[in-house]
Amino acid sequence: MAQKISLTRYLVEQQRADGLIPGQLRLLLEVVARACKSISQAVNKGALGGVLGSAESENVQGEVQKKLDIIANEVLIEANEWGGHLAAMASEEMDSIYVVPNRYPQGEYLLLFDPLDGSSNIDVNVSIGTIFSVLKKPDDTPGVQEGDFLQAGSRQVAAGYCIYGPQTTLVLTVGNGVAMFTLDREQGSFMLTQENIQIPADTKEFAINMSNMRHWDAPVKRYIDECLAGKEGPRGKDFNMRWIASMVADVHRILMRGGIFMYPWDKREPDKAGKLRLMYEANPMSWLVEQAGGAATNGRERILDLAPAKLHERVAVVLGSKNEVERVTRYHDPL
């Protein structure tokens, strides 16, 4: 077990050690962690807090919003808008960016988030989570506009998620590995419980929504068919399957024990690159996975290299154990 130190002490020591966490970024990460604690409390109340069920509204994605989607979004906005560390925020739940109001000082960071990922699981008590990504605002443009957010994932300065499961756990990278903090509810603090997390390069476990099989492209179908063929097939080993339908939970499992997660393009909506969102789902998760020794592509290209054209654009995602992700890439580009 890693030495039990708090998130605050960890960030101060990282700042002191290698300067990767300037003061304003440390403040931002601590504010996001505090917001996640509040979201965790709301999630844990469930029916007792009157927070389950639909909010009778739709988000920019055309998805029905749950009450907790809106609550989580409001918690993150209210926690971050006054601190002076941010210029603006972007959320899966908001059509356009949220510029820090003039009554507060503006900072140099941009915060993007999916406030409550996996919300179809809320009402059935399955793990869900908050995903966040931090960029620096380009300093060559006055004010802040949506275009300032359109940076490749390789430009992130911090990324993480908080999973609301049997434990509430914050997983974070600032570019020097991946650390995990578990919420000590008695102290009200996130405590370091694992650092330098490493994803095994090989795996026997894949995560994909099998009900979409008939819609997949040939390379994805070939990869999954070979996994299903098991020991007698070309892979020479049996595979296990998991699909929680909560990206945070599936990615957390992969960070803890390896695996490959796939949400590929499919022909149901051929004009959409994929289901998952690039800026506040795929980019933060891809950086975490790469920082833990894994790989993340859209089937062909490294996700962190993709140049975003729109704030809410979608992307196909193949991430996890490096050797498996590379196999899927070879199947897409056999030359």
Residue 14 or 127 with smaller CB distance to ligand P6P: 127
Binders of ligand P6P: how many residues, by CB under 6 A?
A: 10
Q: Which stretch binds ligand P6P (CB under 6 A): 21-29, 171-179, 242-250, 289-297?
A: 242-250
Q: Which span (10-18, 116-124, 156-164, 182-190) binds ligand P6P, by CB under 6 A?
A: 116-124
List the one residue from 107, 115, 118, 274 that touches ligand P6P (CB under 6 A): 118
CA distances to 7, 175, 260, 294, 295 from 324, in Å? 33, 23, 7, 9, 9
Least distance (Å) between residue 114 CB and ligand P6P: 8
> Which residue has the CB atom at the shortest distance from ligand P6P?
247
**Closer residue to ligand P6P in complex, CB, 220/276:** 276
CB nearer to ligand P6P: pick between 247 and 279: 247
Q: Scanning residues 32 to 91, which ones bind ligand P6P (CB under 6 A)? A: none
CA distance linking residue 96 with residue 112, whole number of Å: 11
Nearer to ligand P6P, 120 or 125 (CB): 120
247 interacts with ligand P6P by CB under 6 A? yes
Q: Can residue 209 be called a binding residue for ligand P6P (CB under 6 A)? A: yes
Contact pick of 69, 81, 117, 148 for ligand P6P (by CB under 6 A): 117
Binding site for ligand P6P (CB under 6 A): 117-118, 120, 209, 245-247, 263, 275-276
